Amino acid sequence: MYNAKDLVQQAINAKQKAMPTYSNFHVGAALLAKSGKLYIGANIENSSYGLTICAERTAVFNAILEGEREFEAIAIAGDSDDYISPCGACRQVLMELCGKDLNVYMVNSKGEYKLSSMEDLLPYSFNQEFLK
Ligand code: THU
């Protein structure tokens, strides 16, 4: 069993890696694979705004490239007073690549956090079953 507080702290630390050139909104993510390895991510922005990538997706893609396929939890930390909430695109990616049982810790700028589930974040999700 992992320590949620440690995971949250890793997401807060990962904010330092962000490149929020246009929004100045730093986001860090820490994704724990079932292997026990941790993968961090941070948002990276682009002057062609639509090419910006969120912290969650950099973490997931980083882990996938290392061969990980099973995941335990992700913590996401932002600069906001409220608990950060993953965007719709990231919800779809997290659901498909990390699975419906992923625990999602959403962290506010004070370091407080709340836990949610992928089922709550993305009900009725589109998935591979529809493509058969
Ligand atoms: N952002 C994330 O990285 N993750 C989220 O969950 C919400 C938004 C980033 C995208 C963009 O770089 C900045 O925050 C402002 O939207």
Angstrom distance (rounded) from CA 12 to CA 121: 21
Torsion sign over Cα 13, 87, 96, 66 = negative
CATH topology of domain 4-131: Cytidine Deaminase; domain 2 (3.40.140)
Domain chopping of the chain, boundaries: 4-131
| Per-residue pLDDT, 98 | 98
Distances (CA, A) of 63 to 12, 76, 103, 110, 111: 18, 15, 16, 27, 24
pLDDT of res. 70: 98
Q: Is the CB–ligand 1 distance for residue 23 below 6 Å?
A: yes
Rg (CA), the chain: 14
The residues annotated as belonging to the active site are 56
pLDDT tens digit at each of 132 positions of the chain: 899 999 999 999 999 999 999 999 999 999 999 999 999 999 999 999 999 999 999 999 999 999 999 999 999 999 999 999 999 999 999 999 999 999 999 999 999 999 999 999 999 999 999 999
> Which residue minimizes the CA distance to atom 10 of ligand 1?
54
Q: What is the pTM of this model?
A: 0.97
